[in-house]
Amino acid sequence: MVRVAAWFTVVILLGGLVRGANPVEAETVGQVFRRVNTSVVIVRTRERDTGQQSAASAPTVAGLGSGVVIDSRGRVLTAAHVVQTVDEITVEFLDGHVSAARVVGSEPEADRALLELETPPPGMQAAALGDSDAVEVGDQVCIVGAPYGIGHTRTVGHISARHKPNTVYSGMSLAEFLQTDAAINQGNSGGPMFSLRGEIVGIVSHIISKSGGFEGLGFVVTSNMARHLLLERRSFWSGVDGYVLTGELARVLNLPQPVGLLVQHVAAQSPAATAGLLGGTLRATIAGETLTVGGDVILEVQGLPISGRNSYEAIQARLSQLHPGVPITITVLRGGRRIELTGHLP
């Protein structure tokens, strides 16, 4: 999972909310699974591992996650850490249909992303995006996904707790979480949590574990948060994974200001790549943190300095006021020199 999500954003894409029909009565877990299973997909990714060599010679690394179709346009909700910096995405359906997909919106601070399929299958079924405020601690839920690549696996449990934003995981300060004891493992990330009404009430994010496997502490971003951040307002996708440099790390790396965003990885053909941002080339441990260094450090976006997590909202607000085609200026530290790069809104 992406350790610290990149909250620099370059491209704005607007999505609209389309809800499916809402069931009136609760069903059994088996009935829910049989009805919604076809809307759940396996998300497979590929990206370059540039941590020890140049991008040209870097090997390709495969990734795995889950997702869920939410409308007839072929839009899929998944986790941002599954797709944020990948170069290729394919989505697999229960009937074997495979479609390429692209990221059309991402909110790493809440670990949410929105994909759009290139070739939706005929008769594709979408799941209803429900009201996560309507579920309570103790309610039974089920999760459908692809743990370890075993597709369309159902696990059952209950909602264990509800957590407000910025109370569980500092790297996802915008995420409102539902905690669950339904089993979650590698490959479940991005998959849906369903209520017994057959509605999506959350999207799987991460687990807390000492063993590396599931220990009863799973965290799922609420459907209402996903709806608000990706569907009801403009959503950004940069294609960047970054690490916030502050304090001793900022001083060791000779930043000309107290805070900067160290670019770890840039997805090929992403808005960030088009603007000319460079990712890291060498993994190093500095002050106990393992980072990919050698890439750009973002200092400002559109004249707004990177000053901490509060600057994320200010940058987002500034970019949301701009029209398509307007140039975006990104100031970076590269090789000890301060330079300006230019991207454009689509």
Return the active site residues. 81, 111, 189
Give the residue among 77, 86, 4, 2 at the shortest CA–CA distance from 41: 77
Q: Are 149 and 64 in contact (CB under 8 A)?
A: yes
Residue 120, CB-side half-sphere exposure with 13 Å CA sphere: 19
Sign of torsion, CA 44 49 55 60? negative
Residue 245, CB-side half-sphere exposure with 13 Å CA sphere: 30
Question: In which residue are the tokens 């697999």 written?
Answer: 92
Residue 269, CB-side half-sphere exposure with 13 Å CA sphere: 7
Give the residue among 336, 295, 276, 280 at the shortest CA–CA distance from 10: 276
Helix (H) or strand (E) holding 311: helix 310-320
Helix (H) or strand (E) holding 334: strand 327-334
Cα separation, 189 vs 49, whole angstroms: 20
Cα separation, 319 vs 336, whole angstroms: 27
Cα separation, 31 vs 198, whole angstroms: 9
**278 contacts: CB under 8 Å, gap ≥ 6:** 263, 266, 295, 296, 334
Widest Cα–Cα separation across the chain: 62
Helix (H) or strand (E) holding 292: strand 289-293
First to last CA, the chain: 29
**247 contacts: CB under 8 Å, gap ≥ 6:** none
